[in-house]
Structure 1
């Protein structure tokens, strides 16, 4: 499959975000990735999921929600990774950028969030209900988005959690109860928070792929 890859520079108002946009030929949609606490667009786990999505005909945008300077500060304080309003605004800017980019503007948009990035993805979905068609959370913290945001999300939400990630599973169940959009909780048996067990990440990629591939026509 022919793919086009390019560096994305996204004006988020208070920062310029850098990302990697990959669009397969005849892409059926594009998925923006919101990385979790202490991670970046170079996350091997998210890149593995992104590669699976690309092979299935979906574009991907992997981007850093913090600038290099902010990331250095965050690694010492761990403060910005939990600033969900900040991360949500920047993810919303990425959604807007996809909606205006000549190669992606015609495509339905999905969002994939890991850890705290799941909350940022849900903020963007709530802010742009006309653009975001589906959301997937991997080991995410949707609870950090807050009740008002969860109630405002209109896109269908898939919450993927490891079966051994007990606290995060509980938090996902509590957050799901506050969603008004269609949702499903998918538990990966035996998996812990980082889905490092054999076959666990492959299962995440498979269920995410199926969720996104149907986004363009299932939930009109």
Structure 2
């Protein structure tokens, strides 16, 4: 099991870097990059719960801070989807250059605004992002044009009590042209705080990534 903190170059000429935690079980079959919601970080307890289930299923995880501490103090920057997208793409390139992960298929897991960034990244780099999962996401913020261009199989998961977000996910689901599925978790609110609901999210995510991420990233690139 590999478990180490990493710094990922995320700005021009290496002027900015973001921190992350890379964890790889032995014989990992792929690695999932987490895109957090606005105001969240790699320490998000909900994303870490999902990440543990993915690792138990044989997938590596990379949880990163998409913004620096200074950037995260600016409310507007938290909703800068193009900036978050570029950070995700930078982290994807980093995974492709690291000896421990360069042969692994890469998936993206996005929550809230992070889901929009994950889908925009998939639209820009369909060759290297093999699957996407959104938890309580705002995929609509990716924009219809980007959603139309996503080729990676995409799973949208939303809480059954998250009324407004359900509608936004349904609209995004209609705009996607890739293999796709929308799952509504009964009795769950936006943050999946109700007993057992986050575990359902993690199970669906592990099944989705396990289905679509090949054992060798080299096979899909």
On whether the aligned pair clears a TM of 0.5, the verdict is yes
Mapped partners of 1:124, 1:102: distance in 2: 22
Match of 1:53 in 2: 54
Match of 1:108 in 2: 105
Q: Is the 8 A contact 1:95 1:124 kept in 2?
A: no
Over 6 Å off, 4+ runs: none
Q: SS of the counterpart of 1:65?
A: coil
Mapped partners of 2:107, 2:115: distance in 1: 12
Offset, 1:80: 1.0
Match of 1:195 in 2: 192
Q: SS of the counterpart of 1:202?
A: helix
Match of 1:31 in 2: 32
Q: Does 1:129 align with 2:130?
A: no
Q: Is the 8 A contact 1:92 1:123 kept in 2?
A: no
Match of 1:161 in 2: 158
Match of 1:148 in 2: 145
Mapped partners of 1:69, 1:102: distance in 2: 31
Match of 1:4 in 2: 2
Match of 2:45 in 1: 44
Mapped partners of 1:167, 1:140: distance in 2: 11
Mapped partners of 1:163, 1:81: distance in 2: 26
TM-score by length of 1: 0.94
CA RMSD between the two structures = 1.4
Q: Is the 8 A contact 1:8 1:19 kept in 2?
A: yes
Mapped partners of 1:106, 1:39: distance in 2: 29
Mapped partners of 1:144, 1:8: distance in 2: 29
Q: Is the 8 A contact 1:140 1:168 kept in 2?
A: yes
Mapped partners of 1:157, 1:111: distance in 2: 10
Offset, 1:172: 0.4
Gaps of 5+ in 2: none
Q: SS of the counterpart of 1:31?
A: strand
Mapped partners of 1:99, 1:148: distance in 2: 27
Mapped partners of 1:97, 1:121: distance in 2: 16
Q: Does 1:118 align with 2:118?
A: no
Offset, 1:216: 2.6
Match of 1:177 in 2: 174
Offset, 1:61: 0.2
Corresponding pairs, count: 214
Gaps of 5+ in 1: none
Mapped partners of 1:94, 1:216: distance in 2: 18
